[in-house]
Homo-oligomer: A and B are copies of this chain.
Amino acid sequence: MPIPARFSRFETLGAATQPQFVQRVMEIIEIIHLFDDFERKDILTLLERMTCFRAPADSPIVYEDEPGDFMMLLLHGSVEIVKKDSDGIYRQLGLVGPGKVLGEISLIDDAPRSAGCIARAELTFAVLDRDGLSHILENDPAVGCKILMVLLMMSTARLREISTRLANLLGEHVGLM
């Protein structure tokens, strides 16, 4: 399978169904409970549509505002999430590691990346793009439901976290809306 140009900034490691990647994903999902509903065969259905990549420390993974049609599951290494403030200066939004899913918002809504990502330590990650997700939704909708439910729980958790921060800030600074 040829690697699309948008992944050319990474070193391609190939199919996510290679034993070392399957094993790593199994280790990861035992720790993060978002995937508790997945059986081993569901994970394999997902990994069959994913490709693994490597990126060196300090390299950009995703740029804010660029189009993006894929999400990443971090397998090894760490990633800094950054966003430009109103003066154009990059601010750190967070530092995340193995098990973290990134990029799912643009995968879903097809809008530009809301933040950028930089590898802080050498990174390996598995990628699912929109074609891969569509293939699963069409051909194995039961697994598709499990994947979407994981994305929904992640999105919901982030929404609650950000809403609380917003409400607190509004309360403190300008009174709530």
The interface of chain A, by Cβ under 8 A from chain B, is: 83, 85-87, 91-93, 105, 108-109, 111, 114, 137, 141-142, 144-145, 148-149, 151-153, 155-160, 162-163, 165-177
Task: Quote the shortest CB–CB distance from A115 to chain B (angstroms).
Answer: 8
> What residues on B are CB-neighbors of A176 within 8 Å?
83, 85, 91
**Contact of A152 with B151 in the complex, beta carbons under 8 Å:** yes
Task: Quote the shortest CB–CB distance from A85 to chain B (angstroms).
Answer: 4
> What residues on B are CB-neighbors of A151 within 8 Å?
152
Instruction: State whether A153 and B109 are in contact (beta carbons under 8 Å apart), knowing that A159-B158, A162-B166, A175-B85 are contacts in the complex.
Output: yes
> What residues on B are CB-neighbors of A172 within 8 Å?
86
